[in-house]
Amino acid sequence: MGQTIKVLIVDDSAVVRQVLTGLFNDTPGFSVLAAVSDPVFAEQRMQQSWPDVIVLDVEMPRMDGITFLKQLMAKRPVPVVICSSLTESGSATAMEAMAAGAVSIVTKPKLGLKKFLEDDSGDILQAVRGAAQARLSNIMPVPERLPVVPQATGAMVTTTDRVVVIGTSTGGTQALERIFRVLPATAPGIAVVQHMPERFTAQFAERLDKLCAMRVKEAEDGDRILPGQVLIAPGGRHLRMLRSGAQYRVEVFDGPLVSRHRPSVDVLFRSAARWAGRNATGILLTGMGDDGARGLKEMRDAGARTLVQDEASSVVFGMPKEALAMGASDRAIPLDAVPAEIMRVLV
């Protein structure tokens, strides 16, 4: 982006406001429009000048962050990055914020906050950069009802011979919800890497499990990839698939960052290329950066079917664009066409 990104910080912590103000003002390409302690002050400040991105806490006095977010999305949408402490109960609250239209989330601890904000400044800057590039028309809350893909006739598919692997980042939570709410319980087994903080993926999986016909769970080491089930990589850990006889299983493990991420889409896709080959379908969705592009190319070279989300429906057309540029796929499809492509695996 050639222009300076104007950031509005809304957080009741004076430490957060001070550290983030220094971070953005000291980084070329950013400037702080204001740093305020609650949404009421934010609304007053926004009457004077409109921000490019809002960094928003959840629990604040006078008005909580989710209420403020919903009001923004209903009146005049603006990219929002949630910056919140994620306790077990707080994770559900943050998940609600993502469902309401937040672009991404940055986890902040309750202890050692100042050091965390300083040490993890790169993640915060990247999240705000991605938010500034987001197409808000593609990150609006998912409708309560969506057209249903006709269910396959006959008995439940019992083989794990066909698997689907999906990778995504910025805008991916809404994209995945839109896809999985349409899929029937007879859909093929799916493994997913969504760039997401630790402790957040379990809440995300629980939310999807309640909304979808398929079973959705945070992946555990040794889980089988089964028809009718979605496995989501835990935040902060890699996910790869292995083959044991006729069965596909997943391994959840620690390791260094790959393509600047953990979990990394490249790790999952490369394992699918190695162990599933032409029995796999790889799908790369909206996201900033290039994670997954090389892995998708390896899948295609191994005979897998590969697809990317098109630019028009992507929140950030970074990862799909990189994959297209390196020949990892020759098909870019709208988000709402993805469920039908997944069901084609069973044909």
Angle, to 10 degrees, between the axis of helix 65-75 and the axis of helix 39-46?
30
Q: What is the pLDDT of residues 264-292, one digit of tens each?
A: 999 999 999 999 999 999 999 999 999 99
Between 85 and 214, whose confidence is greater?
A: 214
Same domain, 125 and 177: no
Distance from C-alpha of 282 to C-alpha of 72, rounded to nearest angstrom:
35
**Strand 53-56 to 229-232 pairing:** unpaired
DSSP conformational letter for 145: -
pLDDT greater than 90 at residue 302: yes
Domain boundary among 88, 116, 133: 133
Same domain, 179 and 82: no
Same domain, 29 and 98: yes
The residue among 16, 28, 14, 142 whose CA lies nearest residue 81 is 16
Same domain, 104 and 168: no
Tell me how many domains the chain contains: 2
pLDDT greater than 60 at residue 31: yes
Q: Is residue 27 part of a domain?
A: yes
Q: What is the pLDDT of residues 210-237, one digit of tens each?
A: 999 999 999 999 999 999 999 999 999 9
Q: Is residue 324 part of a domain?
A: yes
How far is C-alpha 43 from the geometric centre of its chain's CA atoms? 28
Q: Is residue 121 part of a domain?
A: yes
CATH value at residue 120: 3.40.50.2300
Q: Is residue 315 part of a domain?
A: yes
pLDDT greater than 90 at residue 336: yes
DSSP conformational letter for 345: G
Distance from C-alpha of 297 to C-alpha of 264, rounded to nearest angstrom:
15
Q: What is the pLDDT of residues 240-260, one digit of tens each?
A: 999 987 789 999 999 999 998
- Copy the structure tokens of residue 291: 């994670």
Same domain, 269 and 321: yes
Same domain, 212 and 256: yes
The residue among 42, 90, 50, 109 whose CA lies nearest residue 69 is 42
Looking at 56-199, list the stretches that DSSP marks H as alpha helix, in order from N- to C-terminal side. Answer: 65-75, 88-99, 113-119, 121-133, 172-180
Q: Which residues are within 8 A (CB) of 275 and not within 5 positions of it... i.e. 6 or more apart?
A: 241, 242, 243, 248
Domain boundary among 82, 115, 133: 133
Concerning whether 195 is annotated as a catalytic residue, the answer is yes
Q: Is residue 269 part of a domain?
A: yes
Concerning whether 261 is annotated as a catalytic residue, the answer is no
Distance from C-alpha of 289 to C-alpha of 327, rounded to nearest angstrom:
16
Q: Is residue 157 part of a domain?
A: no
Same domain, 276 and 316: yes
Concerning whether 169 is annotated as a catalytic residue, the answer is yes
Is the distance from CB of 269 to CB of 298 less than 8 angstroms? yes
Is the distance from CB of 90 to CB of 202 less than 8 angstroms? no
Query: Which amino acid is residue 87, in one-letter code?
Result: T
CATH value at residue 294: 3.40.50.180
The residue among 265, 233, 229 whose CA lies nearest residue 247 is 229
How sure is the predictor about 139, in pLDDT bands with cuts at 50, 70 and 90?
low
- What is each CA distance from 192 to 8, 83, 135, 181, 300, in whole angstroms? 32, 24, 23, 15, 18
Q: How many beta carbons lie within 10 A of that of residue 247, not counting itself?
A: 13
Is the distance from CB of 188 to CB of 164 less than 8 angstroms? yes
- Active-site residue, selected from the candidate residues 57, 84, 291, 314: 291
- Active-site residue, selected from the candidate residues 195, 223, 264, 290: 195
Same domain, 217 and 291: yes
The residue among 169, 172, 11, 165 whose CA lies nearest residue 84 is 11
Q: What is the pLDDT of residues 50-63, one digit of tens each?
A: 999 999 998 888 88
Same domain, 123 and 174: no
Domain boundary among 89, 118, 133: 133
How sure is the predictor about 314, in pLDDT bands with cuts at 50, 70 and 90?
very high
Range of the domain at 287: 163-346
Q: Is residue 249 part of a domain?
A: yes
Distance from C-alpha of 102 to C-alpha of 72, rounded to nearest angstrom:
10
Same domain, 70 and 185: no
Q: Is residue 141 part of a domain?
A: no
Same domain, 220 and 331: yes
- Active-site residue, selected from the candidate residues 91, 169, 313, 314: 169
Same domain, 80 and 198: no
